[in-house]
Amino acid sequence: MHLPDYLEARTRDKRSYNRIHFQLDDSIEKKYTGKKYFVKTYGCQMNEHDSENICAMLEAMGFSPVDDYLDADLVLLNTCSIRENAHNKAFGMLGRLKHLKVQKKDLIIGLCGCMAQEKSVCDEILKDYKFVNFVLGTHNLYQLPEIIDKAVEEDKQQIEVFSREGDLVEGLPVIRANSCKAYVNIIYGCDKFCTYCIVPYTRGRERSRKKEDILEEVKELIKDGYKEVTLLGQNVNAYGKDLYEDYNMGDLLEDIAKLDIPRIRFMTSHPWDFTDKMIEVIGKYPNIMPSVHLPVQSGSSRILKLMGRRYTRESYLELFHKIKDTVPGVCISTDIIVGFPGEEEEDFLETMSLVEECQFDNAFTFIFSQREGTPACKLKDNTTLKEKEDRLQRLNEVVNRIFLEKNKQLEGKVLKVLVEGTSEKKDMYFGYSETNKLINFTSEKDLLCGDIVSVEITSAKTWSLDGKCV
């Protein structure tokens, strides 16, 4: 058994790490043929992509997928710790699984992802969730097949969570959820330690993949017919810093843009480290999509300082306008937290005025959630839940009004759309524009997933656009 420890998790040093290649033990390959699995994913794109690796490892062991967890022999929760509600959802699901296991004694239940890295979660599972067969941390996900096999063979709860990042694993098998768009990890972990955020503890130190490995993966995706790659990292701008003297995110973006892939996206960018080279490269290459996610978190410099964000309102705005001025037609989206400890009404009004100035194309808005072990958890919370909810509602009213206004400006315009499929009723296709707007549209000719077509926008809604293929 290995239990996580936050004190260890927060240490950062220049310890070297090995790059290892994933290999499935022959004795486990196809051993579980006939058994069914169900993976429930919570949280961000990183987790979604980890689940693509998880599914492939399970299928290599012989498991096959089912759509309903009630039909599964193995249920794995790939969890998220970012806010309390993600945490509560996973525990709610564990409650349902407990009941299921009363009827299905051989059901294998596992928990992995960020929550597994929290000591309090592991302690709770050891104490009150004895029916959970295994817990596996983010740093040793590649050990999933052997941990499942051990849990089954020994019929004993396995808790295998390392506090610190270990080897960087290449060659994990993958079953991609989408046949024309693919996620590609470029950097793991985060060293920014924003005071509210649990990610640096659950995902460890910043570790970049080698540029050769990334470029090779993108070339393979092109060969397999993928039309879009999204480069993933908790903070992609830090790419390369731990590996190279003079090769960073701008250089990587440029090298990928020179490959024959129609669409490149990346997320998430911290405003810190967003270099002029990056902006210049995004503006220069038409296959780097003019869409940037640039979390601001707050419009008040005083709160940004308490959040440990390393920029001020003014420097954020300077960067924002530089990107807008350099990249033609760029759309910028953001993340905002309200009710951070110490946030007064006047700080919140600064967030509101920044939102009016930036006119974001999309914004994910959250109420501050205390995460145990983070510095912000110790700060005095000065607002009631009602005040926080009130701020969130006022903020959402403004951002939603802006989304609709911006979408209305697109009516009558023709946008390039990457076709992803048909809507549930099958009477419309859907896909995303270059600026990442969801578009539902009709077409007289049959289209395939992966086609890039021109769509005239006929009507705008807050969260999507309707159109017709021209």
User: Interaction with ligand SF4 in 200-259: which residues (CB under 6 A)?
Assistant: 200, 234-235
Please identify which residue in 193, 244, 247, 285 interacts with ligand SF4, judged by CB under 6 A. 193
* Interaction of residue 44 with ligand SF4, rule CB under 6 A: no
* Interaction of residue 366 with ligand 5AD, rule CB under 6 A: yes
Residue nearest to ligand 5AD (CB): 335
Structure tokens at 340: 């951070």
* Interaction of residue 278 with ligand 5AD, rule CB under 6 A: no
Please identify which residue in 152, 199, 336, 402 interacts with ligand SF4, judged by CB under 6 A. 199
Closer Cβ to ligand SF4, 17 or 193, answer by number: 193
User: Interaction with ligand 5AD in 31-60: which residues (CB under 6 A)?
Assistant: none
Structure tokens at 207: 């570790």
| Phi, psi angles (nearest 5°) of residue 272 | -70, 140
* Interaction of residue 294 with ligand 5AD, rule CB under 6 A: no
Size of the site for ligand 5AD (CB under 6 A): 12
Q: Give the span between the Cα atoms of 434 and 331, in whole angstroms.
A: 9
Size of the site for ligand SF4 (CB under 6 A): 10
Closer Cβ to ligand SF4, 218 or 304, answer by number: 304
The total of other beta-carbon atoms located within 10 Å of residue 124's CB is 15
Q: Give the span between the Cα atoms of 332 and 348, in whole angstroms.
A: 21
* Interaction of residue 192 with ligand SF4, rule CB under 6 A: yes
Q: How far is the CB of 235 from ligand 5AD (least distance, A)?
A: 10
Closer Cβ to ligand 5AD, 110 or 295, answer by number: 295
The total of other beta-carbon atoms located within 10 Å of residue 210's CB is 14
Tell me which amino acid residue 381 is.
D
Q: How far is the CB of 82 from ligand SF4 (least distance, A)?
A: 8
| The residue to which tokens 């699995």 are assigned | 37
Closest CA to 308 of 463, 194, 417: 194
Partners of residue 431 on adjacent β-strands? 419, 439
User: Interaction with ligand SF4 in 264-323: which residues (CB under 6 A)?
Assistant: 270
Q: Out of ligand 5AD, ligand SF4, none, which partner does residue 348 contact, by CB within 5 to 8 A per kind? A: none
Tell me which amino acid residue 320 is.
F
Closer Cβ to ligand SF4, 59 or 273, answer by number: 273
| The residue to which tokens 């009016």 are assigned | 356
Structure tokens at 396: 């959402």
Consecutive H or E run containing 375? none
Q: How far is the CB of 259 from ligand SF4 (least distance, A)?
A: 28
Q: Give the span between the Cα atoms of 202 and 252, in whole angstroms.
A: 26
For residue 189, how far is the Cα from the chain centroid?
12
Consecutive H or E run containing 392? helix 385-408
**In the complex, which residues of this chain contact ligand 5AD (CB under 6 A)?**
82-83, 196-197, 295, 297, 335, 337, 366, 368-369, 371
**In the complex, which residues of this chain contact ligand SF4 (CB under 6 A)?**
190, 192-194, 197, 199-200, 234-235, 270
